[in-house]
Chain A
Amino acid sequence: QKEVEQDPGPLSVPEGAIVSLNCTYSNSAFQYFMWYRQYSRKGPELLMYTYSSGNKEDGRFTAQVDKSSKYISLFIRDSQPSDSATYLCAMSGRGAQKLVFGQGTRLTINP
């Protein structure tokens, strides 16, 4: 079993929809949780960062972490075609140096 599980999709939704992306993990030592966005033929870029449990909001994006359930989510409100990309969850333990990534979910927002 992988340390981090993420449904690879693909996921296709209409413009304006609310998108929910999720990851589960097995390592209780993980303390830092991130979402990276990767456009086609590009390297991943950090989108959201959360430490421990809780919610974090940044514009149309909200990241949630539930450590008791070992479950993290990314919500995108009012989705736009420019949000079409692959979204990778990532997490790490103390020190935050070595990241473990999920497989990535390929998302398409249709105009």
Chain B
Amino acid sequence: DAGVIQSPRHEVTEMGQEVTLRCKPISGHNSLFWYRQTMMRGLELLIYFNNNVPIDDSGMPEDRFSAKMPNASFSTLKIQPSEPRDSAVYFCASIPGLAGVKGEQFFGPGTRLTVL
């Protein structure tokens, strides 16, 4: 079975540009999480969805960030306009049901974003 798929794997952009990150969760999983990882702050939850509905977006840093899940097999995280401090690795994770079995979330390979 394919795991969580993220694209692109690397993104380099200039400050002020719009960035869109994409995620395809594992088939049959109905909860999806977006995380951001930096050396300074570690792995932070940005937003999560259950059955395509945003449940908790308290981790979204500011209005420049938005996330959508139009269907069960696709989600996007958009940053507009991007800033150098948004440079990080962005991970998507999915789980079956409302809560992972024994705390397990399945992570994608991440998108490494660099904003110049």
Contacts and interface: CB of A to CB of B under 8 A. Distances in A.
Interface string A73-111: 000000000000000101010011111111110000000
A97 B107 contact: no
A42 interface: yes
Contacts of B93: 43
A90 B48 contact: no
B70 interface: no
Interface residues of A, dominant DSSP: loop
Contacts of A102: 42
The interface size bin for chain A is 20 to 34
A45 interface: yes
Interface string B99-111: 1101111011110
Interface of B: 4, 31, 39, 41-45, 48, 56, 91, 93, 95, 98-100, 102-105, 107-110
Given A43-B109, A88-B43, A92-B103, 19 more contacts: A32-B103, A43-B93, A44-B107, A49-B102, A49-B103, A88-B42, A90-B103, A95-B98, A96-B99, A96-B103, A97-B48, A97-B95, A97-B98, A97-B99, A98-B45, A98-B48, A98-B56, A99-B105, A101-B44
